[in-house]
Structure formats: C-alpha cells, structure tokens
Amino acid sequence: MSDPDKNLSDETNVVFEALEADHMPPAGKRISAAGAVAQSVWAKLFIVGINASTGILTARNLMPAGRGELAAMTLWPVFLGSALTLGMPSALTYQMRSQPERQARLVGAALLIAVLCSIAAMALGGVLVPFWIHQYSAQTIYFARIFLFSCPFASIVLVGRAALECDGNFTASNKLLVVSPASTLLLLIVLALTHTMTPVRAAFAYVLVGIFPVIWLLMLLGKRFKPTLQSLRASMALLFSYGIRSYGIDLCGAMALYVDQALVVRVLTPSMMGLYVVALSLSRMLNAFHTSVVMVLFPLAVSQSPETIRDMTGRATRMSTLLTTLGGLCVMLLGPVLLTLLYGREYRGALVVLDVLVVEVILSGATLVLSQAFMALGRPGVITILQVTGLMLSVPLILVLTPRLGILGAGLGLLISTTARLLFVLICFPAFVKLRVPDILPRVSDLLFLKGILLKRLCRQRAS
C-alpha cells in the first residue's frame, strides 16, 4: 500500500507500508497503525493531564508526608498485579495472532491465569507489606494490606487490553486506560472541595474505581471472543510456552515503573517519599510516546520478515525517542517553575532528582521499543535474560545509594540500571538474531515519514 506521492527512500517506503498497512484481523474496530499510534498518544497525553491533576490535588492537600503515606498504600496492588503476570499479555498477543482459530480458548485460559496470579500477588503482599513499610503508621500498613484485594483489577485489565489490541480495537483499549484515572480525579475533586481529603480516603479514590473498567472489559471480551475454558490444558501450555520466556520483559516493564518506589519506600521517611513520588510523576509524563508506539508495534510486527521487523523497530525507536527527548528538555528547563507552581514550595526538594529521572525515562522507553523486535521474532527468552540481568542491577544500586544520597541515589540507581539494559538490548541484535543493530539516531527520512503521516491524515480529515 505504498504511496507514490511520497518522495522517500526505498527503505523508508518498506517501513511506511509495514506501519501503515492494516494488518488487524477483520473483526474489531480497526484503524491504521499510524492512526492507532496517534490515538494512543492522545489518550496517554490525556491521562498525563489527569494524573498531573490528581498529583497536584493530593500533593497540595496532603503535604509531603501525607503524599508519601498515600503512595505506600496504593503502590502494592498495581506493582504486584503487574509484576506477577507470568508473561500472559505478551503470550496472548503472540498466540492469538499466530493461531486466530483458538482465540476464545486462549482468552479464557489467559483470564483464568490472570486471576490465579493475582491471588498469589495478594498472598505475597499480605506477608511482605507489614515487614517492608514497618516505619509507617499502623493505619497505613493496615490499609495497604486491605487494598491488596484490588490486585485482580490490574491483572485482568492487562490481559484484556492485550486481547483487544490484538483484535485491532485500540479505541476500547485506550478508553480503558482513561476511565480509572478520570474517575479518581472526580472523587479527589469532591474530597478537596469538601475539605475531607486524608491519605486513606484518597487511597480509596484510587483503588475502588478499578471495579468498573474490569466489568466493562469482561463484557467486551465476552461479546467479542466468547471466552471458554475448553481444552484448558492445551491453551495454558501454549500461553506458558511463550509467556515464561517473555515474562522477563513484562517483569522488567513493571519493575522499571515501580521497583524504585517499592525499594525506597523501605528506607525513606514519608515526607521524603512524597518528594520522590512527585518528581517521579512529573518525569513519567514523558512515557506517553514510547508506550503508545509499543502497544501498536508488537501486534503489527508479528509474522513480518526479520528485516522488516528490524526496520519497523528502528524507526519506531527513533521517532518516539525524539519526541520524548524534546518533551524531556522542556521538563528539565521548567522543572523549578513546574514544581513550585503545580505542587507548592514544599516540593522544591524534588529538583535534586528530577533531571536524572527524565534521562532515565528517555532511555528506558527506547529500551522498551527495541525489545519488541525480539518479541515479534519469537525470541523473547534471549531478551528476557538480558533485561532481567540489567534490571537486577537496580536493586543493590538503589538499596546502597539511597541511604547515602537520599532520593538522588534512587534516581542514579535507576539510571545506571536502565543504561545497562539499553546496551544489552543493542548487543542482542547481532549476537542472537543475526541482525544489524537498528539505527537509533534520528534521520531526515524520519521527519519526512512523520510529515507524510501528518499530510495524509489532514487530507483524510478534509475529505471527510
């Protein structure tokens, strides 16, 4: 589906065709790859705005110590639910694209595994939390354990969104991303206006809203796939055959987002934890570009030729990293103003780690996009081993540096670990799949590619 009007190189046209072609299954609400990325970016930018608003409300109403207590209570359901997936989201995407005739059985088996994994997450959290955050009040520890019962929400949504995205229904997937934070924001506004916000009540606003997206998601999956547990053993074997090998990548993604908080919450006081969470939230606003590309790239890349996968991955990495870097420079330059204006003067201490976290977000996003090539090539085990090895550096680094350097040590530990993971991923291309390392520095052709997409979308809008 090449466009002869585009004055691009042959290599550019190959990737343009691969990214723009509609490789989605016939069912589902399909949009082009570029359209899906654009829609996902807008959805995530909208979520960034919502999360920024919730962060401002909680920071200003709870002060650093209360914000730290809120983080200590709400961290565990999302962290453990995302960490104990056993690779099911990636496995479901791969197997559904490879064996579309088994979709109903695969979705049913994946949902069952997600529930069982979330039960294990609740049990693990029940034992771990009181020991890990012992310096917090008894009330904070008690509610942190209570909120563990929401672990299934995170697990089911991860698996369900993978099924929807594989079916080409990125619209529903993006709506699921928006519903929970938007509902949380509404509840927090009510608490703020009535002057009744406390760390525990704010935590309820974050946790309870997860019920409604799960109900809606299950209805969507039931209508589209009619999940069944027939041939459960065979379906689980298929999912685990890929999932266990890809689990490290999923685990790395969850750990990259939450492991630093899970570690520093043990050694920081509530007020210092509040400062760190605010700096982390501000830097994580930049994740929108990389994560939007990933959710579209992996399903499209499966079953493509190795060279096409390499080219698709390289271009996706360059373009998403370029946009993220531009956003990162703005955050770094405006950091002092943003922290004071949005969160209050009490949070200016977060400046010490903000720039480090911004650089870490840029590098970790590039690593995540590059990893999708190995997933699509059916070689998740290779990248899993190297990703886990790199990520495991963060545990001793954070535990050693944080007590000595405070929140700056936590940020440096993350940055060193992420840099190692990026180098590992690049080395894997020639070492394990015999492909040249993708070019990750922006080119002029990338700008022409982006210009072509924008012009094409403008023409469509005018035509409609």
Find, among 207, 205, 214, the residue nearest to 185 by Cα: 205
Q: Identify the band that residue 442 occupies on the pLDDT scale cut at 50, 70 and 90.
A: confident
The one-character DSSP state at 340 is I
Average pLDDT, integer, range 15-29 = 41
Percent of the chain residues topping a pLDDT of 90: 22
Q: How confident is the model at residue 12 (pLDDT cuts 50, 70, 90)?
A: very low
The least confident of 185-189, 293-297, 423-427 is: 293-297
167 C-beta neighbours (distance < 10 Å), count: 27
- pLDDT given at position 315: 84
C-alpha distances in Å from residue 237, one per residue of 121, 156, 184, 231, 267: 22, 19, 38, 10, 41
- pLDDT (tens digit per residue) in 129-143: 998 888 889 999 999
**Residues in contact with 291: Cβ distance below 8 Å, sequence separation at least 6, in sequence order:** 40, 44, 365, 368
In this predicted model, what pLDDT tens digit does every residue of 68-112 receive, in sequence order? 999 899 988 888 888 888 888 888 888 888 888 888 999 999 999
Neighbours of 198 (CB within 10 A): 15
CB atoms within 10 A of CB 248: 23
Of 37-46, 62-71, 272-281, 376-385, least confident by mean pLDDT is: 37-46
Question: Is 368's pLDDT higher than 50?
Answer: yes
Higher per-residue pLDDT: 460 or 444? 444
Residue 154: CB atoms within 10 A of its CB come to 23
State the amino acid at position 257 in one-letter form: L
Domain ranges for the chain: 10-457
Q: State both tokens at 78.
A: 């999302």
Which pLDDT does position 7 carry in this prediction? 35
Give ∠ CA 452-453-456 in degrees, rounded to 5.
85
Query: For residue range 318-343, what is the model confidence (pLDDT) as tens digits?
Result: 888 888 898 899 999 988 888 888 88
Q: By the 8 A CB rule, do 121 and 83 touch?
A: yes
Q: pTM here?
A: 0.69
Do 17 and 1 touch, CB atoms closer than 8 A? Answer: yes
pLDDT at 23: 41
Higher pLDDT, 51 or 396: 396
pLDDT surpassing 80 at residue 250:
no
pLDDT at residue 179 greater than cutoff 60: yes
Task: Give the mean model confidence (pLDDT) for residues 124-130.
Answer: 91
CB 133 within 8 A of CB 141: yes
